[in-house]
């Protein structure tokens, strides 16, 4: 649903089915920004973010953590992993678009 809404708003969206595919796609595509679901199967979103942030050609890509866990510890864990922003679920779509626009320019 989120991908559909973002596409309708004019964003190009590519989705990964698991952590390894997220890493592979980020390296291949070099996106402007990454929305990282921390609950990915395989490597979780925090592990993927740590890998992307130490990989030369992806370390510059801003990452927004998406998580159903809205506790301060989860927010802190996202930033420690290297995420540039944090968005708890349920997602406030307007706020997310603001974050995307701020990070993609």
* CATH, residue 74: 3.40.50.2300
The CA distance from 7 to 11, in Å, is 5
The CA distance from 46 to 3, in Å, is 20
The CA distance from 30 to 20, in Å, is 15
Examine residue 72 and state whether it is found in any structural domain, yes or no: yes
The CA distance from 5 to 3, in Å, is 6
Examine residue 58 and state whether it is found in any structural domain, yes or no: yes
Examine residue 9 and state whether it is found in any structural domain, yes or no: no
Residues 42-90: pLDDT tens digits?
999 999 999 999 999 999 999 999 988 777 788 899 999 999 999 998 9
Assigned token pair, 45: 């979103």
Give 19 or 67, the one with higher predicted confidence.
19
Domain count, the chain: 1
Question: Average of pLDDT values for 26-43?
Answer: 94
- Residues whose CB is less than 8 angstroms from the CB of residue 88 and which lie 6 or more positions away in sequence, other chains included: 67, 68, 69, 70, 74, 75
Residues 79-104: pLDDT tens digits?
999 999 999 989 999 999 999 988 87
Examine residue 46 and state whether it is found in any structural domain, yes or no: yes
Examine residue 81 and state whether it is found in any structural domain, yes or no: yes
Examine residue 48 and state whether it is found in any structural domain, yes or no: yes
pLDDT of residue 105: 63
Examine residue 105 and state whether it is found in any structural domain, yes or no: no
CA Rg value for the chain: 13
pLDDT of residue 55: 97
Element (H, E) at 64: strand 63-67
Structural domain containing residue 69:
18-23+33-91
pTM: 0.92
């Amino acid at each position: 649903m989120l991908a559909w809404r973002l596409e309708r708003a004019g964003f190009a969206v590519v989705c990964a089915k698991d952590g390894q595919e997220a890493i592979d796609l980020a390296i291949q595509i070099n996106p402007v920004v990454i929305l990282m679901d921390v609950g990915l199967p395989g490597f979780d979103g925090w592990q993927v973010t740590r890998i992307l942030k130490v990989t030369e050609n992806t370390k510059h890509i801003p990452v927004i953590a998406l998580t159903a866990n809205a506790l301060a510890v989860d927010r802190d864990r996202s930033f420690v992993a290297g995420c540039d922003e944090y968005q708890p679920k349920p997602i406030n779509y307007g706020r997310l678009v603001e974050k995307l626009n701020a990070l993609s320019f």
